[in-house]
Every structure is written in structure tokens, then in C-alpha cells.
Structure 1
Amino acid sequence: MRFAAWILLGVALLLAGCNTTPYDRATVFYDRAQYPADLVKDFPGITDPIVQHGRCAVVMTTPNSNTGAYYFCTFALTANDLYVMGWNGKTMKYESLANVKLSALKKISIWSFFRARQVQLTESQRLLGFSVTIDEGGYDDGAATERLFETLKGKGITVVESEGQIKPPPAPAPMFIPIIIPK
């Protein structure tokens, strides 16, 4: 009986460490109904109507690369620009991660693998791997990512075949260095 109690206690301790809030939702504030008004308040230069907006994940790199910096974000698409925003919890304001002028895009593509989708936006000196996520965070929204791609494609931007997913750098792995102590 004592062994079962220890096992139950161990399982309870392991489950106590589980986190149920997705990391992107915990780090980037997003309220779908209020977002356009909040964004225009933080960035008065946004004068065009917002056509599409949501929560996202973006990987920024240089052209002809497949690894770059990874950010959780929100986005707003207007007729001429795609605004990619981070959140500063200290100032309680959105901060610009990237402002993509649609006229400056050289080409776009879409990468897909099962349900995962990534719109790839190529400018002269920057490449963005962009995925829309659900409002609750934690999961890609493949349908919304495809809608964004179709909207951009409708703007007359050159569409090319994707060369593969743009990924964040790998997580650091622990390094084990054996120490040999002679006798």
C-alpha cells in the first residue's frame, strides 16, 4: 500500500508542473474584437482599414536561408501593408516586429505539411515564414494561413514553389563532458 501512495504522490507532483496555457497566448495579448482599435491607438500611422488580423508565429531570416529568429506575434493586413506586432507587457502596447510593404514583396510561396501551413514572404533583404495560429494560441490555423496567402496572391505578387519550411534555430542541447580523474 505504501508503494502505491508513493507512486500516486509522484504522479501528482509531475502533473502539478503541467502548464495548460500555450506559451504564445501567455506572451502576446490579443483580443479579436478590440485588436484593430488597440493597434490604431498604438500606431496612429495605420490609416488603411484592416482587412484581416489574428494571432501568429513568424520566423525572420534572410533570402536563401531556412533558419531564422522565431517570434510569437499578432498581425494586421491592410490594402498596402502587413503589420507584424509583438507585445510589450511593461508598456502594455504593441511593438512592431516587421512592416511588410506588399509592393516591396518579390515573391510569395506557401509550404504545407499535413495541417501545418506557412506563408513565405520574400523581400530583397528579408524572408518571413508566417503562420496564423488560432485565437486561443498553441495551434496553427491552416485555413486562416491559406486565406492570407490567397489574399496576397490576389494582389498580383509573384507566386513560386516553396523550397521547404523556414524553421527557428534548434534548441540548445546539454553538453556532457566526461571528467576522468586518474587514480
Structure 2
Amino acid sequence: MRNLCASLLIGATVLLSGCNTTPYDRATIYYDRTQFTTQVSKDFPDIKGPILQHGRCSLLISTPGSTTGTYHFCTFALTQDELYVQGWDATALKYKEILRVDLSTLSKVALDSYFRTNQVQLIEQRRQSALSVMIDDGGYHDTAATERVYETIKKRGVTVVKSEGMMMPPAGPTPVVIPIVIPK
């Protein structure tokens, strides 16, 4: 019994020693808070006005009324008039645009929460997107920062509506198990 416990402990240690602790969003999206405004302004010279808020984020993009959308790890920059959402191109060492929303074109905005996850849902005539702000180190949602983005957009006079539910990425493929019965 003692050898079995020791073997299981050694096996678990070996398996866990290969685990990576860097959050996936941090590993794929470059973000340096102190240099971000300079970098993003260089990559997108047409950003209008000062950047009020910025950070890491996760984004879902879909059609209005849907609760399923394509998922992106991202960074965002919020100005008085627009929301800019970028991905990171590691080969070119610059940000690439994923989404740009002119706040005056928004028809509705909603805030939805599920436990510690908040989403600002931006509804336009032909597109719906959900933005969740992440902490600078990645891996966890920043509920207070997400609520600040929502409040900034709400102050622009956008119609506030009740959310139809959290937006989620499409479900991953699941293996199909087909039992084979062999009669005797």
C-alpha cells in the first residue's frame, strides 16, 4: 500500500511539473500598461482624442440577438467617441484591428454578469459584441474595469437595455461514442 501511494505521488508530481502557469491570453496578447497608449497610437494614427481607458480584454462578436459568437483575446482603447479593440501580430510586432465601434452608432448597451465575469454588450444595427476586461497579468476578469467601460458608454446617452444572457463562444467539438454490441 505504501509503495502504491509513493508511486501515485511521484506520477502526479511528474505530470504536474509539465503544467504551464502563464494564462493563455497573456501569452498571446502583448500588453504593457505604461507603453500601451504610445504603441497603439503609433499603430493606429487615426485614433481620435485621448484614450480614457485601456487594458487586456476578451471579445465575442456576433449578430444581434445571438448569445454565441467568435472569441478573441485582445486589448482595447476607449476614447470619448470610439472603442478600439486590437489583437497582437507577433511577427510584425504591432497591433491589428479586430473591432472599431463608433459609440454614436450604438443602438443599445447592456451589462451582464455571471459570478465574477461581467460583459459589456454593445448592440449595433447589424452586429453585437461583448467585451470583458481582464487584469493586466491575464487569466482573470476585472469586474470593476468592465463596469467602468459600461458607465463611460452609458454616459454617451446610449439606450440601456436588459441583457438577453451572457454571450459565449461556440461549444467545442465533442467526441461521439458509438457503442458496438457483439451478440454471443
TM-score, with length taken from structure 1: 0.94
Q: How far apart, in 2, do the equivalents of 1:181 and 1:164 lie? A: 46
Corresponding residue for residue 18 of structure 1: 19
Corresponding residue for residue 177 of structure 1: 178
Q: How far apart, in 1, do the equivalents of 2:78 and 2:122 lie? A: 13
Amino acid at match of 1:52: Q
Q: How far apart, in 2, do the equivalents of 1:171 and 1:13 lie? A: 28
Displacement of 1:11: 1.0
Q: How far apart, in 2, do the equivalents of 1:4 and 1:113 lie? A: 40
The two structures, once aligned, show a CA RMSD in angstroms of: 1.5
Q: How far apart, in 1, do the equivalents of 2:67 and 2:112 lie? A: 12
Displacement of 1:47: 3.7
Displacement of 1:133: 0.7
State, as a whole percentage, how many aligned pairs show the same letter: 54
Unaligned 5+ segments in structure 2 are none
Q: How far apart, in 1, do the equivalents of 2:67 and 2:175 lie? A: 24
TM-score, with length taken from structure 2: 0.93
Unaligned 5+ segments in structure 1 are none
Corresponding residue for residue 28 of structure 1: 29
Q: How far apart, in 2, do the equivalents of 1:20 and 1:29 lie? A: 17
Corresponding residue for residue 122 of structure 2: 121
SS state at 1:140 partner: coil
Q: How far apart, in 2, do the equivalents of 1:96 and 1:125 lie? A: 19
Q: How far apart, in 1, do the equivalents of 2:142 and 2:119 lie? A: 10
Contact 2:65 2:164 in 1 (8 A): no
Tell me, yes or no, if structure 1 residue 152 matches structure 2 residue 153. Answer: yes
Q: How far apart, in 1, do the equivalents of 2:38 and 2:176 lie? A: 48
Q: How does 1:1-183 map to 2 (within 5 A)?
A: 2-179=3-180
Q: Deviations over 1:11-66 (max 9, x none)?
A: 11221232211110011000001000000111111141111101000110000111
CA separation of 1:113 and 1:4: change in aligned 2, threshold 3 A: closer
Amino acid at match of 1:139: Y
SS state at 2:169 partner: coil
SS state at 2:39 partner: helix
Displacement of 1:182: 7.9
Amino acid at match of 1:175: V
SS state at 1:37 partner: helix
